[in-house]
Amino acid sequence: MRLLFLGDVVGRSGRVAVVSQLPMLRDRYKLDFIIVNGENAAGGFGINEKIANEFFDAGADVITTGNHAFDQRETLSHIGREDRLLRPANYPEGTPGKGAGLFTAQNGTQVLVVNLMGRVFMQELDCPFQRISRELEACPMGAAADIVFVDMHAEASSEKQAMGYFLDGKVSAVVGTHTHVPTADDRILPQGTAYMSDAGMCGVYDSILGMEKDEPVNRFVTRVNGGRFAPVTGEAAISGVVIHIDQATGLAKNICPLRLGPDIRQMEPDF
């Protein structure tokens, strides 16, 4: 089975790139399942129902989020009606929506997708390690689920790596999001779990994390908030990973970055 995961989609440019290319990517790489992190898709902050439906119509099977999950107020009601839109599972009890779901891939494989959020340099949520343990007790790989994918939305690479080794052999893949910068550590961990610290972003890379450069630079230089962050417009690149998974075991056979578009080194799977 082949699974595609795309990192944080930033603004309109990122949306256009993803929506226009997903059908082609599904055909080119014979993808069975597609997950997109859409938490920065609406003007750089959150996601709304219209945008979510654009991703689903283009071929996304599931949308994950992170610390900007509820930046768009309508998400509070939308996420309760759309099981394919996830927020971090370790949000407090009573938060609208779900942090995990069991979905059927095009080839009939049962895929458990879990969205987690780290706590280092981020909001103080429930423990993501305890939360994923409960999710796997309820839906273990090899029993209720054939494949388990974890989006670890976190700031610290050490926390993401800890999650990777904590889950090694128990899930198919752990891939990080949030920093918008693709890392070079894609690999298969010793017990068979695919891992990468950050999938990168789908957005304009001639930017600061997908945003116009002047305001972020101003804040670092002057320590003064001079205005809002605004996503860069223009031709965007897409960034993520393609993972080849053994359906018999749920463990990964290969993982390779996918990076297409301007201002980023081009990379495509060779399997």
Count of structural domains, the chain: 1
Residue 36, strand partner residues: 6, 63
Distance CA 148, CA 136 (A): 9
> Is 195 contained in some domain?
yes
CATH number at residue 25: 3.60.21.10
Q: Residue 266 domain-assigned?
A: no
In a domain, 269, yes or no: no
pTM of the predicted structure, to 2 decimals: 0.97
Q: Is residue 232 part of a domain?
A: yes
d(CA 170, CA 142): 9
DSSP string, 125-177: -S-HHHHHHHHHHHS-BTTTBSEEEEEEE-S-HHHHHHHHHHHBTTBSEEEEE
Q: Is residue 67 part of a domain?
A: yes
Q: Please identify every residue annotated as catalytic.
A: 68
d(CA 116, CA 98): 11
Per-residue pLDDT of the chain (271 residues; tens, 9 = 90+): 999 999 999 999 999 999 999 999 999 999 999 999 999 999 999 999 999 999 999 999 999 999 999 999 999 999 999 999 999 999 999 999 999 999 999 999 999 999 999 999 998 899 999 999 999 999 999 999 999 999 999 999 999 999 999 999 999 999 999 999 999 999 999 999 999 999 999 999 999 999 999 999 999 999 999 888 999 999 999 999 999 999 999 999 999 999 999 999 999 998 8
Residues spanned by the domain of 18: 2-260
